[in-house]
Homo-oligomer: A and B are copies of this chain.
Amino acid sequence: MTARCAPAEITAYLHRHIPVSAHLGATVRRCDRDGVVLAAPLAANINHRSTVFGGSASAVAILAGWTWLHFALRDAGRHCRVVIQRNSMEYDAPIDGDFTAECAGMPAAGWDKFLETLRRHRRARTELTAVLKLKDATVARFDGEYVAVLLEAGAADSA
């Protein structure tokens, strides 16, 4: 993606437009064509057992997929509303430290098809997966179905 998509700027965008993301302490480590990595601290997301609250883990994973798709579309010059339609999470282990959510985005062929569907039907749907990691270990797995709806020219997103 372009220089517009510097991690600090995307973090600021998320915190401004989705205020809960700031409370989750979510920051963007990387966001490019090949995926996104969000980081979040244990402290902001702690539960009564000193591990990460499942709801926080889920929210950061959902945000990772959304962030990748939103900025990939923006980078491709498409002004869209991106919404989640369905998701599932598997929690494999307690998360007792700072963690990351890594979404690998879509393969190039799938992305081209997605953009073509969007051009033809003004909406397109894709599944995105993410893994949550504690240090290098996978501690949770996410998959979600997102829909992008093309906005009218001139009705570009507020960002």
Q: Name A residues whose Cβ lies closer than 8 Å to a Cβ of B.
A: 17-21, 23-24, 44-49, 53-56, 58-63, 66, 81, 83-91, 94, 157-159
Would B17 and A24 count as touching, CB distance under 8 A? Answer: no
Q: Could you list 7 A-B pairs, sorted by A, with CB under 8 Å?
A: A18-B47, A19-B44, A19-B46, A20-B53, A55-B59, A58-B62, A88-B89
Q: What residues of B have a CB within 8 angstroms of the CB of A94 in the complex?
A: 83
Give Cα distance in the complex from A58 to B84, angstroms: 11
Interface of A is mostly: mixed
Contact partner, A54, options B49, B54, B62, Cβ 8 Å? B62
Considering the complex, give the chain B residue whose CB is closest to the CB of A70: B48
Would A91 and B81 count as touching, CB distance under 8 A? Answer: no
Give Cα distance in the complex from A90 to B88, angstroms: 9
Q: What residues of B have a CB within 8 angstroms of the CB of A62 in the complex?
A: 53-55, 58
Give Cα distance in the complex from A85 to B48, angstroms: 16
Q: What residues of B have a CB within 8 angstroms of the CB of A54 in the complex?
A: 62, 66, 83-84, 87
Residue of A21, A45, A81, A86 with highest tally of chain B CB at under 10 A: A86
Q: What residues of B have a CB within 8 angstroms of the CB of A23 in the complex?
A: 20, 23
Would A159 and B48 count as touching, CB distance under 8 A? Answer: yes
Q: What residues of B have a CB within 8 angstroms of the CB of A17 in the complex?
A: 47-48
Q: A17-B47, A20-B53, A55-B62 are in contact. List 20 more A-B contacts (CB 8 A).
A: A17-B48, A18-B48, A20-B23, A20-B24, A20-B44, A23-B23, A24-B55, A49-B81, A54-B84, A55-B58, A55-B61, A55-B63, A56-B59, A58-B87, A59-B59, A83-B91, A83-B94, A86-B90, A86-B91, A87-B89
